[in-house]
Amino acid sequence: MTTFQITAKQLQSPRRPSKPRSHRNHCIRDLVGWFFCPPVPRRVFQAGQWSRNIAGGPFACVENVPNPYYVFWTVPLDRVSAATVACTHYFGSSYFGLRPSTPKAESSLEAIRQARRRRAIDDPANLADDRVWLFHGEHDEIVPEPVARSLEEVYRALGVLDLQADWNDHGRAASHGMPVERFTGQSKFPTRECEEHEPPFIIQCGFDATRSLLQHLYPENFNGPSTDPHRDGTLMAFDQSEFFTAREAISLSRVGYIYVPHTCAAEPCRLHVAFHGCKQDLESVHDDFIRDAGYNQWAASNSIVVLYPQATGSAANPNRCWDFWGYSGSGYFGKDGPQMRAVKSMVDRLLGPGP
């Protein structure tokens, strides 16, 4: 039984992902430091669709943050301001001297209900049997803890029972980044310690977030890490541009990456979609995220293909974030949002037709 065929040619030039002939119907959506992926994207898998979120916040966070200058009636902040001083504190915590209220779980839930009525997302009841893992660092000064906790409230309100939220109560206090036990990769940046918030935003904390999340998402027969994931698998580039049109100003790179364990040539493999954080794309941190954020070592030993889609910079997106404030259009958070549609097309190409 063959799922992926890997050749040297695929490593030498960007191309579309190879299509598997068979697969397990599981996918992990990986959210690192942002609010991009909605909790109920188009349902494309017959079995579990699981997610994890590191240092992010709730669905449609920027849509209904009240403007603090309007006391007697509710007028929402513009999306950019909501994104940078309320959902995150990227530009501080005040709006022209006044502090906006913290985004509330109920606002996100109402946005989910409205999006469902418009059929922009599928039924939130689909989430009830999913597994979810959340993490927020104690020293995270970018995403406020109340914002991250509102995401947990949203998941619980939607009936998710198998949810593990790690609030960094144990071990070293982490900043806004991807915690790894020890950074061993080659990088143009110095090794960042756990409390630092500097490129490549992979922080050496003495614990491995990928281990914790994957053990929660795949508790059965979970294997230890590969000692050499690039001996035990292949990291290759592919052409992302065929998944969106040149007319679409959606801040996607022409090139994405995929890691395929060699075991996938002989047995079915799961799929993990790993979205990088802001300023963590290839142009910003070279290959630090796709090689050294921790996924590949666990993927190699647990038959998991890792898809690394890549955002890029634009005038509306100078920090190369995935779209959580609407720079790609008003429908950015729904299943027909341009970035959502592009990544879903990549997933569909990999999984191929259902059985």
Both tokens of residue 165?
């939220």
d(CA 64, CA 16): 38
- Residue 351: CB partners within 8 Å, gap ≥ 6? 19, 20, 23, 25, 44, 45, 271
Give the global pTM.
Answer: 0.88
- For 224, counting Cβ atoms within 10 Å of its Cβ (0-12 exposed, 13-18 middle, 19+ buried), the class is exposed
How is the chain split into domains, by residue range? Answer: 8-121+225-351
Residue 106 near residue 158 (C-beta atoms within 8 A): no
Return the H-helix or E-strand segment holding 146.
Answer: helix 145-157
- For 353, counting Cβ atoms within 10 Å of its Cβ (0-12 exposed, 13-18 middle, 19+ buried), the class is exposed
Q: What is the pLDDT along the chain (355 residues), one digit of tens a residue?
A: 223 333 323 323 333 444 333 333 334 444 443 466 544 333 322 234 567 678 889 999 999 999 999 988 889 999 999 999 999 999 999 999 999 999 999 999 999 999 999 999 999 999 999 999 999 999 999 999 999 999 999 999 999 999 999 999 999 999 999 999 999 999 999 999 999 999 999 999 999 999 998 889 888 889 999 999 999 999 999 999 999 986 667 899 999 999 999 999 999 999 999 999 999 999 999 999 999 999 999 999 999 999 999 999 999 999 999 999 999 998 999 999 999 999 999 999 998 875 5
CA distances from 286 to 185, 267, 280 (A): 12, 31, 8
d(CA 50, CA 168): 21
d(CA 58, CA 67): 19
CB atoms within 10 A of CB 187: 18
Closest CA relative to residue 156, chosen from 199, 198, 127, 181: 127
Using DSSP, how many helices (H) and how many strands (E) does the chain show? Answer: 9, 11
Residue 175 near residue 208 (C-beta atoms within 8 A): no
